[in-house]
Amino acid sequence: MMDVQTLVEWLGPEGANSGILASRLSISELIEIARAKGLPLSPKPSRKEIANELIYAGTKKIDKPIDDLLTMDTDRIVKYFNETNPSRSEIISLLSSLGITIGSQASKSLLQFAAREISDLGMYQRVARGSHRAQKAT
């Protein structure tokens, strides 16, 4: 079995990711390695998704506080996620911390689902704060 940690130590995260993408391992073999590590995968993961999970699952990419994410609209969150490239497990963990559970359909397009849910929660918070302030002013 492939030792991902050693691969990352030798090549760095980007090199290890490129190496896995270009390897002769089949998607089935990569899925087996990811599942052995307990990594969450979508029902039909791409080679890129599996490689990202194997390499980046232990690293935290989302560095913005939840409150900052809640101020963003869906498009800005999607852009941020695309820039930071968080692992699937990190997004699932973030959603879980917000009390959001994902269904099988949402799991297929996790990034869009997460962005929409976080944006909606932020909107509800902003509306609640606005109505709370309006009540205090009266």
Cα dihedral 62, 67, 71, 75, rounded to 10, equals 20
Query: What is the rounded distance in angstroms from the CA atom of residue 131 to the CA atom of residue 128?
Result: 5
Q: What six digits make up the tokens of 55?
A: 């390499």
Query: What is the rounded distance in angstroms from the CA atom of residue 105 to the CA atom of residue 41?
Result: 13
pLDDT band of residue 115 (cuts 50, 70, 90) is very high
Question: Average pLDDT, stretch 116-122?
Answer: 93
- Residue 132: pLDDT above 70? no
Count of alpha carbons within 13 angstroms of residue 33, beta-carbon side:
20
Strands (DSSP E) found in 1-138: none
Q: What is the pLDDT of residues 66-97, one digit of tens each?
A: 899 999 999 999 999 999 888 787 888 888 88
- How many residues are given for the chain? 138
Q: Is the dihedral of CA 125, 131, 133, 135 positive or negative?
A: negative
pLDDT band of residue 108 (cuts 50, 70, 90) is confident
**What pLDDT is stored for residue 134 in this prediction?**
54
**What pLDDT is stored for residue 102 in this prediction?**
79
**What pLDDT is stored for residue 131 in this prediction?**
63
Q: 138 by DSSP, 3-state: which?
A: coil
